Structure 1
Amino acid sequence: MEYIDKELIPAEHEEEILVLRSIFNEDFVSNDNVDHQSTFNLIVRFDSLPEKILLIHNKSNASTEVSHLPPITLHITYKNTYPKIDPPLYCIECDYLTCDQLSSLANKMDKMWISGDVIVYTWIELLKDYFFNLNNQFILFDINSSTDDKRFRTNYDKIGSKQIYDQLVEYNRVQNQSEFERTIHICPICLDEKSGRSCLKFEKCHHYACLSCLNSYAIQLLSRIQENKAINCYECDSPLFLTELRRIFSDDKLLLKYQKHLLEQTTDMVWCPRCHHSIICVPPESTSGNHRSFAECVHCQFIFCRRCQQSWHPQVQCPKDAMIQDIQQNPNADKDKLKLNRIELSKILLELDNIQIIEQCTKPCPSCQVRIEKNGGCQHMNCRHCQIHFCWLCGWYGRAYGPHPCNVKPEKQQASLPSEMNEKLEQIFHDENGKQIIHAVVKRIQMCPRENCRQTHIKVGANNLLKCEKCGNDFCFLCGEAVYGKFHFSEYGCKITTQL
């Protein structure tokens, strides 16, 4: 065996460490030396790939282009015989590469070793070349594999390919945003040079503009609220995320005003019962079962039922619908048989009182049917949705408000809150059998006549024509029969409007 001068080896180690430290700076992390062996970590980054690669999740067929990948860590431990005889010990740490991929990399690193030469930086170049030559795509598979090979370490199997895919997409988004904020851009609206921090780049379409111009654009659209237009990208009309809208408005009051406007225009917006953010529900592909009540909050990731506001309950009937159905089928049953407690009874009563408040304190616009509340002032009303003017008393409407034949006396038709609401609330906590709530529910509910549906509905207002939100069937509240055409409601049939 060749004689090795042990006094020279530490100097060679120190020289290579000095070079690596100058190249990697803060990405060089020195560890405590064990048994007089130098150990350190090198963080190898791939933030600037030469070309975008297509990231593919094999099982779900999800794909997206990325230009940034997370760094990997290379653990190095020098032997006393390095570099004369033996290579250093190493361990590659990467959670988004499989055991087979890491094993292939380690085998290539072993083959590159030539005794007498320093090797660490050559290994680093090999790792970078691996990611720089991915043939424009990187596929994530569901693979169950394990190994005791100490040359690498990965949590690929524990994390799962789908979660790794999501993590890589999020990492790429954050890095793109950071890169955008570090550079100077020309705003396409005002043509001024602005720093990236003073601009906003939309995630979906990648158009951008300075926040000042976007704020003026949003306020202008908000002032023309009658156009019923959502605030989207100024260039391609792509929808924006709530975080982007929050940066554009920079004023919570304006954002709240915009959200309330959207809430008035769509039934697809709901409020998360956990974090109380407004979210827009995407229409489901299936219109059967309880899929239409599914909602997922993008802010706190809470999945809940739009009907009962509780955690999502797939493949089962909503407990709220089941409760009302039990009440309808067993109007004389006691509370124990219906499995209703006082808290549940009070919730149903509150819901019915809210319906009564809607009926008494609001009226539908005679043009577009959007509910409008009157809380004071004269009888002249202006609908913010369709911009028509109408009389609160008689319902006359037009594009301009003026004299009209109003035969209703104001003192008889003033909107007011139901005076008996507090009395009902007090009674419900003392009504052991819940007979009052049973009567109040039964007189307002009707079931869809379609056999494979049988969805329960609550009547709001005077209109007896109901539309089932589950199957889309039109039916009559009075007789419970399906309605086809306009002949069902006539002088020989049911009345189109009746009060309870």
Structure 2
Amino acid sequence: MNADLEEQEDELLALQSIFGSDEFLRDESKSAGECRVSVELPVGFNVLLKHDQTIRQYDVSFLPPLLLTFELPEDYPSSSPPSFTLTCSWLTQPQLTSLRDKLTDLYQATGGAVVLFSWIQFLREDALKHLDIHTLLELPTDESETPQTSRGKPDAERSDADEEESAPGSEPPDDQYHQVSSNPPLPPGGDAHGSDVTASETSESTDDSQGDCSSAADKSELPDSERQEEVRGIPPNKDQSYPGLSLTQSQMLLSRILIHDAEQRQKLFAGTPFDCAVCFSTWLGAECVQLHECGHIFCRACLGEFCKAQITEGNVRGVTCPQVGCPATPTPAQVKSLVGEELFYRYDRLLLQSTLDRMPDIAYCPRLSCGSAVILEKSSPAAMCSVCSFAFCVDCKKTYHGTSKCYEAPKVPEQTSEDPLAVPPQTEEGMIALLEDYTTASKWRRRLLENRYGRQTLLHTIEGRVSDRWKAVHTKPCPHCFFPIQKDGGCNHMICRWCHRMFNWE
């Protein structure tokens, strides 16, 4: 084994030890491989897309990685640089060509030393600066996404397939990504070969586009080829587009950038330690939940127990952020993952019922066997259940009675010489005493009181008057919904259990 091969083996082993398998893949059958380089972005980096006079701009922290595929010739690094292909979905062909030329210059500056790690570091840290991209990346529109194939071979060496591929009127395929291939110049006296600058489609491109000696390593021989397309962020064909949506190529690219950014953010969150604001313990993000509205972070166990207690007690409006004074709520997906299927079904049902209760134009069917929600009409006192077709009065919740008034308490008959009924007590104390006597009396005593005062008088007049008097003394109406509320202790800061609004007891 000569010195070049030894340096190649040492370099590849070093790259394998530095980078994980998701970043660096080596082809064991030859001195070749590929590296996925994630570009470091500054704080406040934005991606912008202009489409149909609409500007869409998003703050991102991660972009899909650049794919650097290489093959080391036998005389690398002493005489020749690596043959490589640089692929990226969010850079244009001229930008990739500029990066390719810069990588070639970096090799020449080394004076025959290994250069792969320096290339990776350059792409990671300085690629955007080299392309004059600072805090904003403007994606190419669909009108500008028509890259053509520009080959560096002489006209005499161009094959018939090349002529057909670049013939006027030929349309590029739909799902495009940009790729540049570079091959090093041979030592003096060798055959001269130009460098290729290629804009191709998928890994199923024709062999003629990479058939000369300037092509990169055959990607079909690399392991995990299907995952390579996924990492590049490029749809292999139209069948992998979003069903039911008509998206342009630029919109598809923006969507994949945002999805990749969200996945990487979640991966970063899962490996970061956080302090739970409930138990004050330190947990990895994989064991925590972050509320999207407020950004507060709690461990999954504490937040789960808090949500379970609120749902079990029926206080679904209390399923909020445990931070004091924070009104933010977890998403339904977060609640479901915290409490499980059974409690989430109860939470979903009670939340819907609570929402309907707070709507002034919603009533419930009074039939005990139905109870469905009914939408009321402001111009009519009647309502009809759409489930059981029961028509009822909105005010008294009884069967609809037309223009006649709702139930009225019977009038107390006046005492006459011919009427044996006695006049009930006119004072509050007397009515309370009579009601207590009637409710606690024996069967014989009740019959005697009914014969003296009348059954309707005892059941409706006395009881209704006492109840109204008690509510007038011991309760106050809510200033917002006028629902009667009793104060049984505590401070004067009240919350109405009906409309859930706050007021002061005065």
Q: TM-score range by the shorter chain?
A: 0.3 to 0.5
**TM-score with structure 2 setting the length:** 0.47
**TM-score with structure 1 setting the length:** 0.48
Please identify the structure whose Cα radius of gyration is greater. Answer: 2
Bigger relative contact order, structure 1 or 2, given CA contacts below 8 A and separation 6+? 2
